[in-house]
Each structure stands twice: as C-alpha cells, then as structure tokens.
Amino acid sequence: MSSETGSHSFDRFQSSVGRFDISGKTLLIPDMAPIGARLLAACFRAFGVDAVLMKTYEGLALGKEYTSGKECFPCQVTLGDILHHLKKEQERLGSDFSTKKYVYFMPEADGPCRFGMYNKMQRLILDRFPQFREVPIVSLSTGDAYGAGGLLPPHQASIFRKLSYVAVIIADVLDRIVWRVRPYERRAGMTDNHMEEAVQMLASMIESTGATLDFNLLHQKVEEIALQASSFIDRRKPRRPRIGIVGEIYLRSHPDSNQNIIRCLEAFGGEVVDASLGEWVNFVTFERIKKTRRRWKLAWRRKDHAQLRLILRQLLDLEIERGYQFWRQSQVYRRAMRHLDIQPDHTIGSIERRLQRDHLFTFDIGTEAALSIGGALAYVHEGFDGIVNVFPFTCMPSTICAAVLKPLLHREGIPYLDAPYDGTTQPNREVALRTFMYQAKQHLESRKAEENGRATLWRVKH
Ligand code: SF4
C-alpha cells in the first residue's frame, strides 16, 4: 500500500499495534464516556503511567479529511482526536516534540465488527505523517477481557484489571445518579457542579490508593455523593416518563458525537437512563465463558483428556472472574441505592433469558445487537415509557437492532426512536425528539390511568 512515506508494510500491524511496555510513556486516551474515561485514566496513573485524556471532537475535521466516509463514525472521531492532539503537542513543544514519548491507546474487539480494525486503519493513517510514525498504538482486546498483560508487569496487570472494573462500575453509578437527579433538581446546574467535584475527588482517590485494591474509601465516597445528590431533588416535581437508551457503546456514551441526546431528552421532559459501560465488560466475560464451553464440548466429543483438563481450568478461572464482577458491581450499586433509587443494572444472563423466551434474537450471532435488543426489552419490562436506539450511521449491529425493535415495540405500543449520527446535524432532529417525548408522555399517562383503574378495581373487590 502506498503512502506519503513510501510503501506500507503490513509488519507495522504487528510491530506498531499491540501490547507494549508503557512505563515512562505518556498514554493518550480517547475520551468516550466523560466520567468513565476520567476514572480509567486515573487507574493507569495509579500504576505510575502518565495517562492523559485527549480533548475530544475538536479534530473531527481532520478525522474526516483522512478517511473516505465509509468508516464507522467512532473511528473518524477518535482518529481526529489523536491527530489533533499530536499536532497541538507539536506546536506547543516545537523542537522538543518527540514521538518516542507517546503511546496511543485504542482497544479493539475480536467480534465480527469493524471495531477490531480501527487501530489498524489508524496505524495506516498515522504512518502517512512522518513525524507521527513512531507513536505506537497500544491495544487491549476482548479476547482476554481487556487484560492489561504486556502493558504493565504481570503482578500489576491483574490488579489493574480489578481496579479498572470497579472504576467502570463507579462511573456507571455516578452517571445514573446524575440522570436520576438532574431532571428534578431544585436549582439548575447543581447536579452537574456536584458531579464535577465528585469525579475529580474520586479520580485522585483512585490514583493515590487504587493499586491497593482497598475499595472501602471509594464505596464510602460513592455513598456520600448519592446522599448529597438526593437532597437536590425537588420532591414536588412529578416523575417524568423514563426513556431507556440502547445502541452502540461509543455513540451512546459520547455526548459530542450524539449531540448531547441525553440532555436534549431531559430538556423535552424525559428522565433518561443509558445502557451501562459495565454491561459491555460483563458481556465480554459472558461471551468468553460461552466460547470456552463450546470448546469443552468439542474436546469431550474427541475424548481429548489433556484438552478437557486445560479447558476446565480456564472455565473455572472465567467463572471466578464473572463472580468477582457480579460481587463488585452489586457492592457499588448497593451503596448508592441506600440513598437514591437509581436504575439498577441487569445481568447478561437475564438479557439472554429474555431473548430466548421471546425467540427474537440469539447471543450466538454475537455483536452488541443482542445486548441492545435484550436491554430494550428489559427497559420495557421495568416500566420505561420509550426507547431510543443511538448509533453511528450505517452501524451493522445497531441496524439489526432497529430492524427487530421497531416493529416489535410498535406492536406493544411503546414509543421508539432510531437516532443515527455521522457528525452532521439533521434538520428534523429536534422535531423528531420532541414528537418522541410527546408520545412517551402519552404512554406514561395511559400507564398511570391503567394502574389507577386496576387499583380501584382491587379496592372495590376487597
Ligand atoms: S458496532 Fe457499529 S460502529 Fe462499532 S465497529 Fe461495529 S459497525 Fe462499526
């Protein structure tokens, strides 16, 4: 493949994309979910890595300039972030700028999706800039559940894995606190200000004590944050229709890319819950268990005893990992829920059971579509009044999700909206959101009327 610097060797995908020792380097992290990304950077800093969260979306024009338009939108956004950041660093440091200092962080997935190709594609583009060729792209993969082996020394990698999982769950819970409180706050802005301070505080706590894996102080802080946030609610304000967001993880979590859809829905009268980040991590573990079970069955048929012993050990490790995640996730949610009725998270097993029961889709197909379809059904079951599917324009799993959910929810009378994004502003976006919120309010009204009718009937009968 030709480039501005001559021919491109595919060896670069091995030599400059993968796992490298990041000690002594500046790790450049793309911003995705505002709270989650900040806490993840703090986890790296807890191990002495100079992790920096790059400014996001300011380089979108660059991201679009160096792509053809057929790529997934998150690939363009993150490409723009890294190019913009490196160019700014070059301007700031002048002759002191050295690419040897930086490592760019771009995880991947080993599923059928194009996410596994972002880092290779971005390697090709970075290589077109002679001054950026030396910046390696460091990658964590779903293949080993985003283990940090190869980046950090082995004894630190397993601690990092546990710490970053807890940080992700804390980020989910903080987001849920904001979404539960902000629509009802007594004074505009008080929830956001509170959370801004809280995130800074938690990030510095993670940085200073995270590597000890003593989570007591973090749990206590989460509880205090929830308690204080609960006092912001004006109890005279009636409960709004609840809107559940599903879809592609980057788009639904990245406010710039989704044009702040959560705040827009709140402005038009909704209370919103977005699918969690923890859901994806738990899904990755769940999928690994399923794949390992399949390997076990094959080995059983072949009567391969050596393989059976090996796979059994792997299965045991994975089940321990799943149990650990479940335990840690429940701990953090429980502490917040002592003071505030935030939306709890569903388990991946419950989503799979829901899909199997309705014969709608199967986890065997893979990708996020199963999570989005199952997650939407879970919202409906929990009494939400509308579902929004947020995704990059042309996203393959989200398009499948839209094809299944739209007729299904229409039949059930649940308001549903597809919200695809590609960086352009659709002229009818506000009208679509307002109309959807109007339908969700109607749904809430009829649901309440039905509940009141049932309660009256019950009183008459008893
Ligand atoms: S989930 Fe969608 S946006 Fe993400 S890589 Fe797959 S097709 Fe692209």
Domains and CATH numbers, the chain: 2-151 (3.40.50), 153-237+277-344 (no CATH), 239-275+347-462 (3.40.50)
| Terminal alpha carbon distance of the chain | 79
289 burial type by CB count under 10 A (0-12 exposed, 13-18 middle, 19+ buried): middle
pLDDT at 4: 44
State how far Cα 322 lies from the chain centre: 18
Q: Is the CB of 72 under 6 A from ligand 1?
A: yes
What is 131-181 written as a DSSP string? GGTT--EE--BGGGTT--BTTB-HHHHHHHHHHHHHHHHHHHHHHHHHHHH
Which sign does the torsion angle of CA 203, 209, 215, 217 carry? negative
**Cβ pair 336, 240 in contact under 8 A:** no
| CA 137–ligand 1 middle distance (angstroms) | 19
Q: Convert the pLDDT of each residue in 24-68 to its tens digit.
A: 899 999 999 999 999 999 999 999 999 999 999 999 999 999 999
Phi and psi at residue 387, in whole multiples of 5°?
-125, 135
Q: Is the CB of 183 under 6 A from ligand 1?
A: no
pLDDT at 3: 44
Q: Which residues of the chain have pLDDT under 70?
A: 1-9, 111-112, 145
- Sorted by sequence, the CB contacts under 8 Å of residue 120 that are 6+ apart come out as 13, 17
What is 417-436 written as a DSSP string? EEEEESSSPPTTHHHHHHHH
| CA 12–ligand 1 middle distance (angstroms) | 23
Mutation to probe ligand 1, out of 395, 398, 401, 418 (largest number of atoms < 8 A from CB): 395
Taking the C-alpha atoms of residue 178 and residue 189, their distance in angstroms, rounded to an integer, is 11
Give me the amino acid identity at 31: D
Q: Whose alpha carbon is nearest atom 2 of ligand 1? A: 395
pLDDT at 8: 59
Taking the C-alpha atoms of residue 205 and residue 212, their distance in angstroms, rounded to an integer, is 11
